[in-house]
Amino acid sequence: MDNLTNPQRSDAFYKQFRDAVRQGEIEAADLPARFELPKEYRRRGAEGSYTRTVKDMVVNVTPAYKKWFDSVNETLATTTRRAATPKASLEAVESGAVDFAAMVEETRRKMAASYSKGQALGNARKAAKPKARRTTKK
C-alpha cells in the first residue's frame, strides 16, 4: 500500500488485490490483524474525515506480483473522471463555455415534445365516446 502512486485509490487497490488472491493470480494469506487504509473519506455535511480498516494480508513478493502491482498501480494512477460539463447560465453562454446553438436546439426539442404530448392527451380526451347501451326494453 505504501508504494501506491495515489493513496486515495487504496480502497480500489485493496478490492483488486483481494480479487487477484481469490482468482489465484497472486499469493497472499490473511492475518488476524486489521490496518487503516491511507484513503481519507468525508461525510457530506459533516466536518473532518475518517478512514476505514480492512483485514491485513501478507503477500509473497514474486516477479508475477510485481508485474501485477505495476499494472494495477498504473491504472489507478490515471484519473478516470471526466471533466464536468459547465452548467447552463448567462455567464457560461457569454464566455462561450456552453454551446448556445445546442442549447437552443435542445430547448426547441423539449418544447415540441411537450406540445405534442399535450395535443395527444387532449385529443384522447375529446375522442367520441361510444353510445350507452339501452337498459330499458320497448
Question: pLDDT for 89-116, tens place per residue?
Answer: 888 888 888 888 999 999 999 999 999 9
Query: How is the chain split into domains, by residue range?
Result: 7-77, 90-124
CB atoms under 10 Å from CB of 81, counted, come to: 5
Tell me the one-letter amino acid at 69.
Answer: F
Positive or negative, the Cα torsion across 18, 21, 25, 27?
Answer: positive
User: At residue 83, does pLDDT exceed 80?
Assistant: no
Question: pLDDT for 42-56, tens place per residue?
Answer: 888 888 888 889 898
Q: For the residues 59-72, what does the mean pLDDT come to?
A: 90
* pTM (global) more than 0.85: no
pLDDT tier, 16 (very low <50, low <70, confident <90, very high otherwise):
very high
Question: pLDDT for 32-42, tens place per residue?
Answer: 999 888 888 88
Lookup result for grid cell 367520441: 128
Are the C-beta atoms of 15 and 37 separated by less than 8 Å? no
Identify the pLDDT of residue 20. Answer: 92
